[in-house]
């Protein structure tokens, strides 16, 4: 990796250990990562932990990666963003996503209907409020629409998690950045084309959003262990996190591999991917030893990513996560770390 290619770190919603979240964020700043994103699922309130991270760090950008649009109103999301923007000194990025039926209905007791429309409406309302405008009423009533009493002291970028075609177009139309998760690297070019279609239907002169794919990480000096962890990422998301991921991969021509995952006893037995599913590891994850994983990461830059987001696995030992962060850290920091001992020996 060259020094002019930024790299970010993320944690998935399954990582609920507060001490680990705080450690990873502060360690990422020490190692020169550009941003840290925390997903919100069914555990901690992401905004509370990000506020704690904001006062423990000074340089790294922080953000939600992502919060769903079912658990809060547009106004509460805008207030969350305004507050974190102020606490962080202007380093906050608001990441929004449509979530899943299980999250909307199983946790927030809200019917999961028209998710792209819900994402679009929420994003527009949040942007209006952050820009100092009044809420645009959608429900009947005689109360006067309000503005936020506290305006952000600096612009708050919005990034959207999107995989389906219409959601990706929406990101092109409304977002400052696109944050797809579990998108195949071979599909990034087509995803950028959809993003451009969304840009064309937005305001005149609108730039292409930043492209920030979320990449599951499975790095270990032991190739077998790295392969097993990469297989866990693929099998877990395809079998446990709703139909969107499988549908997306089929649309990109990976249906045979998806069928091999969904029909495999290996998912339950955890004894590695069947042969037909193995291509998904290289397509979706950054895995292997440090050298192999870096080569896979370089493919994403070559495909058009502006800032890949390395999503660390949940539930792993802290020293294992530290090794992953160090093995894949931005090259300029790696070179500094390597050269210090050599200078001391001279």
Does the pLDDT at position 342 exceed 50? no
Region 241-246: mean pLDDT is 91
Q: Report the share of the chain in percent with pLDDT over 90.
A: 85
Q: What is the mean pLDDT of the chain?
A: 92
Domain assignment of residue 35, yes or no: yes
Q: Which CATH number fits the domain that encloses residue 65?
A: 3.20.20.30
| Confidence (pTM) | 0.92
d(CA 331, CA 346) in angstroms, rounded, equals 23
Domain count along the chain: 1
Does the pLDDT at position 344 exceed 90? no
Domain assignment of residue 251, yes or no: no
Residue 140 lies in domain: 8-222+285-345
Q: Report the share of the chain in percent with pLDDT over 70.
A: 93
Domain assignment of residue 256, yes or no: no
Domain assignment of residue 137, yes or no: yes
* C-alpha pair distances (Å), 106 with each of 14, 42, 52, 111, 152: 16, 10, 28, 9, 33
Domain assignment of residue 244, yes or no: no
94-122 per-position pLDDT tens digit: 999 999 898 999 999 999 999 999 999 99
Q: What is the pLDDT of residue 339?
A: 36
Does the pLDDT at position 169 exceed 60? yes
d(CA 61, CA 8) in angstroms, rounded, equals 9
Domain assignment of residue 271, yes or no: no
Domain assignment of residue 246, yes or no: no
């Amino acid at each position: 990796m060259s020094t002019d290619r930024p790299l970010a770190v993320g944690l998935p919603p399954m990582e609920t250990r507060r001490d680990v979240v705080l450690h990873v964020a502060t360690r990422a700043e020490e190692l020169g990562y550009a941003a840290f994103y925390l997903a919100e699922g069914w555990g901690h309130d992401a905004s509370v932990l990000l506020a704690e991270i904001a006062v423990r760090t000074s340089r790294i950008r922080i953000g939600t990666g992502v919060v769903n649009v079912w658990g809060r109103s547009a106004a509460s999301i805008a207030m969350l963003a305004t507050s974190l923007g102020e606490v962080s000194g202007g380093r906050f990025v608001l990441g929004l996503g449509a979530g899943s039926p299980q999250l909307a209905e199983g946790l927030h007791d809200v019917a999961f209907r028209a998710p792209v429309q819900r994402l679009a409406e929420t994003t527009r309302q949040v942007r209006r409020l952050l820009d100092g405008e009044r809420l645009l009423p959608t429900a009947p009533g005689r109360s006067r629409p309000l503005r936020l009493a506290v305006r952000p002291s600096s612009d708050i970028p919005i990034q959207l998690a999107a995989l389906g075609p219409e959601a990706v177009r929406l990101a092109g139309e409304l977002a400052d950045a696109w944050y797809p998760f579990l998108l195949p690297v071979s599909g990034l070019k087509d995803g950028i084309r959809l993003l451009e279609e969304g840009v064309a239907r937005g305001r005149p002169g609108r730039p292409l959003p930043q492209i920030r794919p979320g990449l599951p990480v499975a790095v270990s000096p032991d190739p077998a262990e790295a392969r097993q962890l990469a297989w866990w990422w693929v099998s877990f998301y395809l079998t446990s996190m709703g139909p969107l991921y499988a549908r997306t991969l089929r649309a990109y021509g990976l249906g045979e591999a998806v069928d091999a995952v969904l029909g495999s006893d290996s998912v339950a037995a955890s004894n590695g991917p069947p042969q037909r599913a193995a291509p998904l590891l290289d397509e979706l994850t950054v895995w292997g030893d440090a050298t192999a994983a870096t080569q896979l990461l370089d493919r994403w830059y070559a495909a058009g990513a502006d800032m890949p987001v390395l999503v660390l696995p949940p539930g792993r030992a802290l020293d294992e996560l530290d090794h992953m962060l160090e093995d894949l850290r931005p090259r300029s920091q790696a070179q500094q770390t390597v050269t210090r001992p050599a200078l001391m020996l001279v």
